[in-house]
A and B are shown apart, each in its own frame.
Chain A
């Protein structure tokens, strides 16, 4: 608590709260099928999808390769699955977290 504050004033970014721990299903992008349309990014309610350099991931063809790619930030992704549901090429799988741990 900031001793200066006479009343609750919030200043600390909520990014300290790693909501990724809530997740049951993990969205996994199959980049070879991803067309970089960014619909997953657009509809993420956290938002836990960031935009990364086009060279970071494989792409289906050169035209797609020119486009920046979505990347899921698992620190915050709660695993709602909107991205997988909305993906027009079905390039995102929802994978049961426990199966990944094994």
Chain B
């Protein structure tokens, strides 16, 4: 008898070239478990452009189109339209891009695809910097973080700006479904993707994917840190289903931002006061999310 909480089928093969403890590989593994074999994936420049290995190695048991950095939204549109033109509407099309490829260079083509209502899945696996090129700042790098382009140094030039909120940007597009998910909560992640199979139109997933290499943590802590991010409300798990917010996991432990940041080398330089400031921002965002949930759910009931 098997004691499993997620589907057994593996569509990601071992032998890939990801770093030890890579969170992005977990994101792919879970995504394919949810979407199944009847899926075409496209991957732009990002860690995952390298993870499948060197030619002729293939690590995914589904067809994969590698493409340029900024075109994931356009590529999934092209694949989906070609499938629709040939009567293969039932095949899932998944764009799988990093945070840089989504929130920075790829935001235009993503915006286009979502505005056009393409019937596709888009996953932003978020390791919070340009990791494949060596930990450079992206707009998804959190406030407080060291990266190789936001170094601490004498003048403490760590990233001062807050992370770009991609789910809100998607909501502003009137996207049918957008959600956050975490590699520490695979059951929740898979459920959200499975839900997306029954929703016509674009589905956007912001998946928190720990990067031990870039975050200066032990690879064994990948899942633990991801869990702390959720428990500390730094990365809340929620979905926005046709405009209605729904928090899918209520943090159980009272974990502070400090407890989340402390084990990570990238936040090591922060002072007590700086962490406090970030804590207050996290609290504010969490309260706002609670209000949005309450408000949108009440509106929905009125209708």
Contact = CB atoms under 8 A, between A and B. Distances in A.
Same complex for A and B? Answer yes
Given A12-B56, A45-B222, A68-B3, A19 B12 contact: no
Interface string A29-69: 00000001110011101111001001000000000001110
A12 B18 contact: no
Contacts of A82: 21, 219-220, 222-223
Contacts of A9: 56
A51 B7 CA distance: 12
B39 interface: no
B85 interface: no
A47 B220 CA distance: 14
Contacts of A16: 15, 57
Contacts of A68: 1-3
Interface residues of B, number: 40
B20 A18 contact: no
A36 B3 contact: yes
Interface stretch (B22-30, B72-80, B291-299): B22-30
Contact of A37 (B1, B3, B219): B3
Contact of B3 (A22, A43, A67, A80): A67
Contact of B23 (A11, A17, A45, A79): A45
Contacts of B21: 45, 80-82
Q: Which of A13, A36, A41 has the most CB of B within 10 A?
A: A13
Contacts of A22: 20
Contacts, number: 119
A54 B1 contact: yes
Given A19-B15, A45-B222, A67 B2 contact: yes
A17 B161 CA distance: 41
A12 B58 contact: yes
Interface in B124-181: none
A97 interface: no
B248 interface: no
Most buried by A among B4, B16, B212, B220: B220
A85 interface: yes
6 contacts: A15-B14, A15-B15, A43-B223, A45-B23, A51-B2, A67-B2
Interface of A: 1-2, 8-19, 22, 36-38, 41-43, 45-48, 51, 54, 66-68, 73, 75-76, 78-82, 84-86, 94
Given A43-B26, A80-B20, A81-B219, 16 more contacts: A1-B56, A8-B56, A10-B56, A13-B15, A17-B16, A19-B15, A37-B3, A45-B18, A46-B16, A51-B4, A66-B1, A76-B14, A80-B21, A82-B223, A84-B220, A85-B223
